Structure 1
Amino acid sequence: MKWTAVTLNVGKYRRMGQELGVYVRIFSVLISGCILFFVALGLLGYVQSKWGNTEPSSSMKGLAASVSSQFFMDMLGMEVAHMQTDRQAFTFSQANVSGFLFSLVTDLKWNDPKTFIAREMPGMMEDRSVVLRKVAATRDDGPEDYGPRADAIAKNGEGGEGSITANPSAPKSPETTGQAPAAKPPRTAGKNVAFIYQSHNQESYLPDLPGVSDPDKAYDPKKNVTLVGLRLAQKLEEEGIGAVHSDKNYPAIEKNFNYYYSYKYSLKTLQEATAAHPDLKFYFDIHRDSQRREKTTMHLNGKDYAQVYFIVGGKNPNWKENEQFASQIHQALDAKYPGISKGMFAKAAEGNGVYNQNFSPDSVLIEVGGVDNSLEECYRTVDLLAEAISEVVLNVQKVDGSAPAESKDEKKPS
């Protein structure tokens, strides 16, 4: 009987086991490293959100800000045949990919020569905005702020220097006839708590500037956004909120006036007003947006109204406090009159990005209407805005314990 000899190559299997062990160790190290990386990344994100005062737009300045919705549609189109679009406009074409990478690395656009000199030329840098509170009226457009042409601002003293006025008289609306409704009794204990001013005080509206059709020239020393701010102060007075209004005309006041120093000029106005009226607590900087009529107008109850944007300074270290205050006004306005507010945005512009909002946590920049709206449309809007502001002011004062108690006479039925 023959026996079959079996030879076992132990060395071969030993080497295979050693190689397999190396692969397992490498794989284990890679897995452990990935887990540790993502854990560390999560912890850093938590620490940043918990204790950091980062700009609200900082998370939008990287890759997410550089791609569009079409980018994601084209990604799906690579897998779903019927979603494929024109190959020349395809996101992942050689030209688009190279342009995207160039823009991502340099923050420049090779098909837009303006971006190559924008950082060196004041007023040319795009004032990027990030949505903080979005409503149906927000759509996909945000506020726009274009500086004036060199010859658009009157600098020879036209319009007077202006002043700071407390308790401006109630407006007389041309749309109402007969006796005007009585103003509500003072609800801020006789204190002037709201201050309204205009950093870009000569921003104006084309329908009220005969002979002017260029939106870059929508500026005027007399008919301008200052009248909108005055209307707001007057309506707040009607609501029983003590108000102070500034109609300072900075081009007439400041020697060698520079439009891009406007917030430095208005800061002096804030300091002056606060020194004269120490009870001031709420600050409203009224502006006009640069967009055209179709993006700044809504129809309500048979009339046209200018829409508003609420702006928070993204470079303000304490922007979250201002965002909370502005959010209350936005929500109160949107609850009563949906569509008037186009939402809340954070701006971190190259030139400013603070907008003097570090002066007080209860301050906000409000853009009322655009270049194609009329003053009358803006007046209608700030009448509604005053209702929302008065509601928020009274609620804040109740929380602070500074709201006046109702007198016995006010409780008696008439």
Structure 2
Amino acid sequence: MKKKWQFYTWLILFLFLMPFITVKIPGLQHDVSEAAPESGRLVYAANLFDFEVGEEEEGPAPELSGKALIYFTHSHEAFAPITKAKSGKATVSHSKENIMNLGEAFSSHFRMNGISLDVLDYDNAGKMVAGDIHYSKAYKAIRPRVEEQIKAKQYDIVLDVHRDALGRSRTTVESKDGLYAKAYFVIGEEHKGYAANRKLAEKISARMNELVPGISKGILGKSGHGVDGVYNQDLGPNVLLIEMGGTENTEEELNRTIAVVTKAVAEVLAGK
């Protein structure tokens, strides 16, 4: 009886000391991954592209072999969920919380795909309001700035980034990785070199749909009465206009789509 009591005493003592023993003895510890601290930044497309905006990946930085430029002709275009979250009021036009704020996400993702990005820091809509210039003259108003930038530096691709006016049901696609804002390319057909612009847009659009089926709505050709018809795409065969989502898309959905767009652009430019 006494031996049995001693056995249970030692067993209880052993179980009590076990956590301390495992800490001290090499080989008995389990690997434990600590949860990443809150960064205050949106995490998106991590499962698809293994990347988070605002977070530097471990290891050497990717070699930058391409150059891109983005700008915003309609710079005050905004997304209602974003303006609601940032300013407390849902609106589709805003002087601060607008489409220009996508520049940082584009820059981060282009960099991860080996492309350096210049963002034309020019508030075209703001300048037009100050100068009492009509909305219909937006492409003419920004043209000198874009032309000057293109002449100063050679780019592999130039993107004029816009937001569609359609509602959520027509600008959102669901994939296994989550919700994405749909995108499409507008090609002005009223200049003689538009076929080259269209060919490049078709390649990028096709690759986007291979990455996330249905994310690109394809190509919309524009010509005739009531439209610009050129969209400054006569400045080069690599100048494209892309519509990113619609008025009701969220920041997370847009960021996911930016990851797809930049990856597709990089692969098309690399000839993959």
TM-score by shorter chain over 0.5: yes
Q: Runs of 5+ in structure 2 lacking a partner?
A: 1-38, 44-51
Report matched runs for 1:315-394 at 5 Å. Answer: 315-348=190-223, 350-394=226-270
> Residue 181 and residue 172 in structure 1: after superposition, are their counterparts in 2 closer, same or farther (change >3 A)?
farther
> Residue 178 and residue 207 in structure 1: after superposition, are their counterparts in 2 closer, same or farther (change >3 A)?
closer
Q: What do residues 266-308 of structure 1 show as CA deviations (whole Å, max 9, x unaligned)? A: 21121221233x2223110110001100000011225211000
What is residue 129 of structure 1 aligned with on the other side? none
- SS of corresponding position for 2:74: coil
Structure 1 residue 178, shift from structure 2 partner: 11
Does the aligned pair in 2 maintain the 1:232–1:386 contact within 8 Å?
yes
TM-score (norm: length of structure 1): 0.49
Does the aligned pair in 1 maintain the 2:69–2:118 contact within 8 Å?
yes
- SS of corresponding position for 1:274: helix
Is 1:232 the counterpart of 2:78? The answer is no
| 1:206 aligned to which of 80, 95, 106 | 80
Q: What do residues 77-131 of structure 1 show as CA deviations (whole Å, max 9, x unaligned)? A: xxxxxxxxxxxxxxxxxxxxxxxxxxxxxxxxxxxxxxxxxxxxxxxxxxxxxxx
What is residue 171 of structure 2 aligned with on the other side? 296
Structure 1 residue 180, shift from structure 2 partner: 3.4
Does the aligned pair in 1 maintain the 2:197–2:237 contact within 8 Å?
yes
Residues in 2 aligned to 1:332 and 1:203: alpha-carbon distance in whole angstroms:
27
Structure 1 residue 310, shift from structure 2 partner: 1.2
| 1:249 aligned to which of 123, 126, 134 | 123
| 2:65 aligned to which of 156, 164, 187 | 187
Does the aligned pair in 1 maintain the 2:180–2:215 contact within 8 Å?
yes
Q: Which amino acid aligns with 1:205?
A: F
Identity of aligned residues (%): 28
Structure 1 residue 172, shift from structure 2 partner: 8.6
Which has the higher mean CA deviation after the structures are superposed, 330-339 or 227-236? 227-236
- SS of corresponding position for 1:355: coil
Does the aligned pair in 2 maintain the 1:229–1:286 contact within 8 Å?
no
> Residue 359 and residue 172 in structure 1: after superposition, are their counterparts in 2 closer, same or farther (change >3 A)?
farther
Does the aligned pair in 1 maintain the 2:163–2:243 contact within 8 Å?
yes
Q: How many matched pairs?
A: 218
> Residue 306 and residue 178 in structure 1: after superposition, are their counterparts in 2 closer, same or farther (change >3 A)?
closer
Residues in 1 aligned to 2:210 and 2:181: alpha-carbon distance in whole angstroms:
17
Residues in 2 aligned to 1:257 and 1:179: alpha-carbon distance in whole angstroms:
40
Q: What do residues 377-399 of structure 1 show as CA deviations (whole Å, max 9, x unaligned)? A: 11110011110011112229xxx
Q: Which amino acid aligns with 2:244?
A: V
- SS of corresponding position for 2:78: coil
Residues in 2 aligned to 1:335 and 1:304: alpha-carbon distance in whole angstroms:
16
Residues in 2 aligned to 1:275 and 1:177: alpha-carbon distance in whole angstroms:
30
What is residue 309 of structure 1 aligned with on the other side? 184
Does the aligned pair in 2 maintain the 1:197–1:284 contact within 8 Å?
yes
Does the aligned pair in 2 maintain the 1:198–1:229 contact within 8 Å?
no
Does the aligned pair in 1 maintain the 2:190–2:223 contact within 8 Å?
yes
TM-score (norm: length of structure 2): 0.73
Q: Runs of 5+ in structure 1 lacking a partner?
A: 1-170, 397-414
Is 1:287 the counterpart of 2:155? The answer is no
Residues in 1 aligned to 2:177 and 2:185: alpha-carbon distance in whole angstroms:
25
| 1:218 aligned to which of 66, 89, 92 | 92
What is residue 174 of structure 1 aligned with on the other side? 42
Q: Which amino acid aligns with 2:62?
A: K
Does the aligned pair in 1 maintain the 2:53–2:109 contact within 8 Å?
no
Report matched runs for 1:109-188 at 5 Å. Answer: 173-175=41-43, 176=52, 180-182=56-58, 183-188=61-66
- SS of corresponding position for 1:354: coil
Does the aligned pair in 1 maintain the 2:53–2:105 contact within 8 Å?
no
Which one has a bigger Cα radius of gyration?
A: 1
Higher normalized contact order (CA 8 Å, seq sep 6+, divided by chain length): 2
Structure 1 residue 321, shift from structure 2 partner: 0.9
Does the aligned pair in 2 maintain the 1:251–1:257 contact within 8 Å?
no
Residues in 2 aligned to 1:179 and 1:203: alpha-carbon distance in whole angstroms:
27
Does the aligned pair in 1 maintain the 2:180–2:257 contact within 8 Å?
yes
Structure 1 residue 335, shift from structure 2 partner: 1.4
Does the aligned pair in 2 maintain the 1:329–1:389 contact within 8 Å?
yes
Residues in 2 aligned to 1:387 and 1:336: alpha-carbon distance in whole angstroms:
9
- SS of corresponding position for 1:395: coil
